[in-house]
Amino acid sequence: MERRYFGTDGVRGIAGEPPLTPEFVLKLGQAAGAYFRAHAKRPVVLLGKDTRQSCDLLEAALAAGLMSQGVRVEHLSVLPTPGVAHLTRTLGATAGVMISASHNPYTDNGIKFFSADGDKLPDAVEAEIEGLLGREFSTEGMGTVSDFSEAERMYLDFLLSKGESLEGLRIALDTANGATYRLAHRLFQGLGAEVFVLFNTPDGRNINRGCGSTHPQALQKQVVDGGFDLGAAFDGDGDRVILVDRKGREFHGDHMLYLNAMVRHEPGVVGTLMSNMGLEVRLREAGINFFRTAVGDRYVYEKLRSSGLSLGGEQSGHVLFLDHAPTGDGMLTAILTLKALRESGRDLSEWYDALPMYPQLLKNVRVRDKAALMKSPQLQAAIAQTEAQLSGQGRVNVRPSGTESLVRVMVEGPAGLIESVSAELVNLVEQLDKALA
């Protein structure tokens, strides 16, 4: 069954507009509740959220829908997405739900479901839930709601158990005014680091605004000006992290995959179509297999599982360590990477220099109908022509965003060539978008 509302990362949109209206979210809660009730005798759903102002309204609507179908709802309050996944598995809940739009602006929001194992619901289950949306539901056997006050403590204890001493390190943190704002400093201080925190005063509207893993410039300046050993910037829901070395350089997902793969002696690593060719070349030189998937952590996860591997991720800093957790976790990624760093005996800046990157240009083009545009024969012909023009010296990847009305144009190769090639493709996308209007 084809999914209409669920994308690669749950149901996403502008809060208050279709599909994320309170009325729809109530019906989604009823449909999900009916599904969970059919598969569990006494269903329990854990419900977390980030700091954007629309979360409270959507949380109330979703909880009402779930309870109307006999589900017991446990509120986790503000908690990172991976914390919801961890507690769902640890506490033996039927499912977990996170209300967040990750790294997107505060005006956006989303609803992401987790299975009892702490991973994302399979596509087939999401399709089944969608299939229940049009039904009328009775309210027999109403559920209950309560606050689970131990959520932060349990998740923090889990993270502390995965780290090693950070004594002697001075670390600057950027919590993106998001879901890690109450936990990140406690984690790094608990491991012995000296910590300075930026962007940890959420007001409902400032999540990800000029900060976090997508805007690390303020953190980069702080690390250099303050003489810190490194920095760590999380995104709004805490499933990503970008590190910053002492020179203020962005140490992103490809760098972290390389460092961890080398220190952990991984047999193979999973990246995506956006992973830099430099990472692939360096890993293969070290005898480590490298696999690419479509963009999206669910595809990385599926490839890791099917290949029996543990380490994979994306440039964005969404990294998976399946030997530690079933989902990407920014704080876990940071402390495991620092653990590997200390084991290596090298500085983060040395690891940055050890992985030369191929020049890569990524342009985001806002469009009206990304699906129709991607089907354009003219665009596909231009992509093929561009790949031939690069003649093995680089790569082209043009894809629709999974969460926004954008087409992402990525060109990788010689610096003198990719600028003109990228400009031509971006111009074509813009022209085709106007023609489709």
**8 A C-beta contact, residue 313 and residue 256:** yes
Residue 347, marked binder:
no
Strand-strand pairing, 311-313 and 319-321: antiparallel
Residue 117, marked binder:
no
* Selection from 326, 413, 280 nearest residue 81 by Cα: 326
Cα–Cα distance measured from residue 131 to residue 140, given in angstroms and rounded to the nearest whole number: 21
Dihedral over Cα of 326, 330, 334, 340: its sign: positive
Angle at 301 between CA 82 and CA 36, to 5 degrees: 60
Could you list the beta-strand ranges (E) of 145-256.
Answer: 145-147, 170-174, 194-198, 230-234, 241-245, 250-251
Strand-strand pairing, 395-400 and 406-412: antiparallel
- Residue 339 tokens, joined: 């653990």
The DSSP string of 395-433 is EEEEEE-SSSSEEEEEEES-HHHHHHHHHHHHHHHHHHH
Pick the catalytic residue from 54, 68, 100, 102: 102
Cα–Cα distance measured from residue 29 to residue 24, given in angstroms and rounded to the nearest whole number: 9
DSSP letter, residue 58:
H
Return all residues near 14 (Cβ < 8 A) that are at least 6 apart.
20, 107, 108, 109
Sheet holding 95-99, edge to edge: 11-14, 108-114, 95-99, 44-49, 72-78, 145-147
Cα–Cα distance measured from residue 122 to residue 10, given in angstroms and rounded to the nearest whole number: 11
Dihedral over Cα of 118, 124, 125, 127: its sign: positive
Cα–Cα distance measured from residue 125 to residue 285, given in angstroms and rounded to the nearest whole number: 41
Residue 235, marked binder:
yes
Cα–Cα distance measured from residue 389 to residue 323, given in angstroms and rounded to the nearest whole number: 42
Residue 225, marked binder:
no
Cα–Cα distance measured from residue 258 to residue 111, given in angstroms and rounded to the nearest whole number: 32
Burial class of 60 by CB neighbour count within 10 A (0 to 12, 13 to 18, 19+): middle
Question: Does 102 qualify as catalytic in the annotation?
Answer: yes
**Binding region:** 102, 235, 237, 239
Q: Supply the residues annotated as catalytic.
A: 102
Give the residue ranges of the annotated binding site for Mg(2+): 102, 235, 237, 239
